[in-house]
Amino acid sequence: MDEFARLRARYIAEAQQMAPEAVARLSWTRDQVVEAQTLGLRKIVGHAQQHSPYYAKLIGSLEASTLDLSDLTKIPPLTKELVMTHWDDIVTDRSLKLEQVVEHLDRLKQDETLNPYFRGDLYAAATGGTSGKRGVYLWDWETCVITANITFRMEHQYDLLNPPSSPRRTAVVCAGSYVHASRMVFPTSLDPQRETRVFPADMPLDRMVEEMNAYQPDRLVGFASIVEELCAMALDGALKVKLNRISANSEPLFDEARAMAREAWGIDINDTWGAVEIGAAATEGNSYGGASLAEDYVIFEPVDDDDQPMPAPDRAERLLCTKLYGSVMPMIRYEMTDKMTFDMSNNPDAPGCRRIMEIRGRADDWFVYGGAIKVHPMVFRDVLGQERHISEYQVQQTEQGARVLIIAHGELPLAQLETDLAKVLSHSGVTAPEVSVERVDNLPRHPETKKLKRFVPLK
C-alpha cells in the first residue's frame, strides 16, 4: 500500500469512527447548538490570535475566552481576495507558504500519480468556483474527517434505522482529479460495508450510463446537473439501475430533477451545499424540507449586501461562515456570496439547526454540441481553476469549442491552456474541438446588474 492509500484508508476509518457522535448531534436542541458554537468560537479565535499574524492584528485585544456569538460582529469579514493576499499570515503553522502549496498543486496537476496530500496529512485544494476567482485552501486532518461526517451523517442515520440490503454500491460523479475537493469527499462512506466507485464528471454520458449499468449501484452521489441528466436517461430506459438514495451537490438542484427521480425510482433527491473554503455546510434529510445547516460545526451569519446581520432572514444576500474546526487555516466570518432562502420553522431532521430552502447564484449551464454532446462546466473549471496566474475567467461556447477570456497576473501559457482545454473537450466527446484563450483587462458583465456570467452557452 502506497502512502496515499494508507492515509486515505486512515481518513475513512476515522470518519467512520466519528460517525456515532456526528449522528447524535442531529438530535441536539438549539440551546445545545448555541453552547457548542460559543465554546468552539472561543477556541478557534483564541488559537488564531496566538498563531496567525493576520488574525492577531485583525482581532487585536478581543478576549477570546469570554466571547459570545454577539461579539462576532466585532471581527471584520474575510473574503477570498483577503485570503489570497494574506495567505502566509492567515495559516497558523508559520512554516507553511502559499508558494509551496501552489507548487504542490502544479505537480499534482501534471502527475496525478503523486500523493495528493501535502507535507504529511494536509489536503490542499484550489478552486475557481463559479466566481472564477482562484483560491487555495488547506484542510487539516480534522477538517477532512468532520467534512465527511457532515456530508454523510444523515444518510448514515437513515441506514442505522433502515439497514440496506446488499449489495451496497454507490456511484459517485465528481471531479476525476484529487486537485478538486469533490474527489476527496464524495467517494467516502460512513458504512464500512459500502463500496464506492468514481465516475469522472467529464466522462461522456453514454459511456457513464453503460458503466453504471454494469456496476449496478443502489445509490448515486453527484453534481446536481449530472444527477438530473441521469434521471432523464433512466426515464428514457437507457440507465437501468435500481436506486434507493440519490444525493446531489455542487450546483442548484431543480424541481424537475426531483420529479424525474420520483418517477424513475419512487424516491426524492437529498440536496447538499458546501464549498472548498468551508467544507460541507448543509445536507437535506428525509423530510425533504430543505438542507439543514451544520450549525453544530459552523456558525452561519445571514447578512445583507452591507454585511449587516439579518436576524430573521428570508432571502439572505450572503453568509458569513465561521468554521469551528480545522486549526491550520482558520475561516472566521468567511464570506460566501451565494444567495439563499431560509426556513425558520421547526426542523424535524435536526431540531437545533436552521434549514435553507433555495440556493441561488451558483447555477452553471451545460454546453451542448451538435445537439447531442453535453459538456459539464467542471471540464473547464478543472483546467482553469488550477492555473496559478489566473484571477478571473469567462468561458463562451462556440460552435466547435470555446472562447475563453482571462484576467491574469504574471506569465500565462496560453497555448498550453488551449491544448489542455481542447483535450478535455475531445475526451468529453466533442469532435476536433477548437479553443481560443485570450488575455483581457476586463470581462463583460450584465449591463444592469453588473453580474458576471461565468459560463455562456450558445443561444
Tens digits of residue pLDDT in 428-437: 999 999 999 9
Picking from 266, 270, 181, the residue whose alpha carbon sits closest to that of residue 221 is 270
Instruction: Give the C-alpha separation, 207 to 201, whole Å.
Output: 11
Q: How crowded is the C-beta side of 179, counted as CA atoms within 13 Å?
A: 31
Side-by-side strand order, sheet with 334-336: 298-303, 318-323, 334-336
Neighbouring CB atoms inside 10 A of 226's CB total 25
Mean local confidence (pLDDT), 3-19: 95
Question: Percent of the chain having pLDDT more than 90?
Answer: 62
Task: Tell me how far the alpha carbon of residue 136 is from its chain's centroid.
Answer: 13
Angle, in degrees to the nearest 10, between helices 255-265 and 224-235: 40
Q: Is the pLDDT of residue 51 over 80?
A: yes
- Summarised one tens digit per residue, pLDDT across range 258-281 is 998 999 999 999 999 998 899 999
- Summarised one tens digit per residue, pLDDT across range 386-429 is 776 786 788 999 999 999 998 877 788 899 999 999 999 999 99
Check residue 250 and give its pLDDT. Answer: 82
- Summarised one tens digit per residue, pLDDT across range 22-33 is 999 999 999 999
> 306 Cβ partners below 8 Å, 6+ apart?
none
> 130 Cβ partners below 8 Å, 6+ apart?
361, 362, 363, 364, 454
Instruction: Give the C-alpha separation, 158 to 113, whole Å.
Output: 36
Check residue 77 and give its pLDDT. Answer: 95
